[in-house]
Amino acid sequence: MEAVVERQNMIEALKRVKSNKGRAGMDGMTVHDLDGWLKTNWEAIKEQLLDGSYQPRPVLGIQIPKPNGGMRQLGIPTVLDRLIQQAIQQVLTPIFDPLFSESSYGFRPGRSAHQAVLAAREYVNSGRQWVVDIDLEKFFDRVNHDILMSRIARKVKDKRLLRIIRKYLQAGMMQDGLTSQRVEGTPQGSPLSPLLSNILLDDLDKELEKRGHKFCRYADDCNIYVGSKASGERVLERVTHYLERKLRLKVNGEKSAVDRPGNRKFLGYSMTKEKKARLKPSPSNVQRLKISIRQLIRRGRGWQLDRVIGELTPKLRGWGNYFKLSEVKTVFEELDGWIRRKLRNLLWRQWKDPQTRLRNLRNRGISEDSARRTALGGRGPWHSSGTKAMNFALPQKFFDDLGLVSLLAMRPSR
């Protein structure tokens, strides 16, 4: 606890909490209020942490949509509790992280989802062309407190620190004005939860290593790569038994499967079904991007085109940077073409009447005959946006000059 409340550790924790921003917890205090509040209250809080009397506040329960449907339960601690948890995490990480498996990639310094995806591809291309895809049902809501605390106590002997961690696990959740007590789970949304999840699931990693399996785990997302379907089915059965008996975690039987890697996705990526598998964005992630772009363009029907492109830019950069490992460039070419067509469709709608459309096509260098056929043809906006006349009038260079990000251009050349 002395290391947790040490001045430099708290300064680093404060910087991290402020940079992460985030909404206020149940007491309404924001990250902007925290500096001033600490100046007058920190010494008392520090004393409570050292003597073991500090009591965390309940987390604020909110639900957000999952990408694949359904809702995800988040628990937002107060900014003070986020600060203390961040300080604890900074002290515990150097103790636990060096002991974690090389096959664990989530929420660890110097490790990333990209590394996990590349390792998965290597396992498949080495001949392990079946994957055991394990889905843990509501993992963060189901963590058994006693089992988790016993794993932490293997390396942490300070009872004050163990008590405060358990208090955080058991802190109630306030939702719709009512506070409910927690008897299991660790709230998603707290700085400590990712490390605690890795501490608990490190037992799974060590068990898989002991059995000689090749696997990639990112938080509660675990894929094991094997040489045959029969082997995969045995592995799924045994790992399910281990997780449910030893760690008291429930495997989702409907979402877990033994399958070819090309039929599954891992951290948003899928693989081609060739002998030498190549990475590509999963179809569901491509569809989610399209839905997001459609919503943005629908919202921006009255905007100038450069404003629409400005709103699109961070979305496209984020998606392109994450999926830059893709080795299938046709996905990016098709998306680039589809996005430009959506923007041509937007302009076509904004031009509204046939005479305005005719005038704009002429002004963009389209011949009289072609401009008339397109502008006066009576076809719908989507069909018109894909015509040769619109492609010549508004070519790729037109959008490049307005700053539209090309997903294909973001992909490293191979």
Asked whether residue 189 carries a pLDDT value surpassing 90, the answer given is: no
The radius of gyration computed from the CA coordinates of the chain, to the nearest angstrom, equals 26
Do you know the residue count of the chain? Answer: 414
Asked whether residue 413 carries a pLDDT value surpassing 70, the answer given is: no
Q: Is 259 helix (H, G, I), strand (E, B) or coil?
A: strand
Task: Report d(CA 107, CA 364) in Å as an integer.
Answer: 51
Q: Which residue has the tokens 């693989």?
A: 271
Task: Report d(CA 234, CA 201) in Å as an integer.
Answer: 20
Q: Find the range with the poorest average confidence among 1-10, 203-212, 371-380.
A: 371-380
Tokens of 267: 């951290």
Q: Looking at residues 247-260, what average pLDDT do you find? A: 94
Query: pTM value?
Result: 0.88
CA distances from 24 to 28, 77, 131, 362 (A): 5, 8, 41, 55
- Least Cα distance to 91 among 31, 198, 150, 13 occurs for 13
Q: Find the range with the poorest average confidence among 80-84, 283-287, 300-304, 399-403.
A: 300-304
Q: Is 190 helix (H, G, I), strand (E, B) or coil?
A: coil
* 414 — pLDDT class (breaks 50, 70, 90): low
Asked whether residue 217 carries a pLDDT value surpassing 90, the answer given is: yes
Instruction: Note the pLDDT tens digit of each residue in 56-73.
Output: 998 888 877 776 666 777
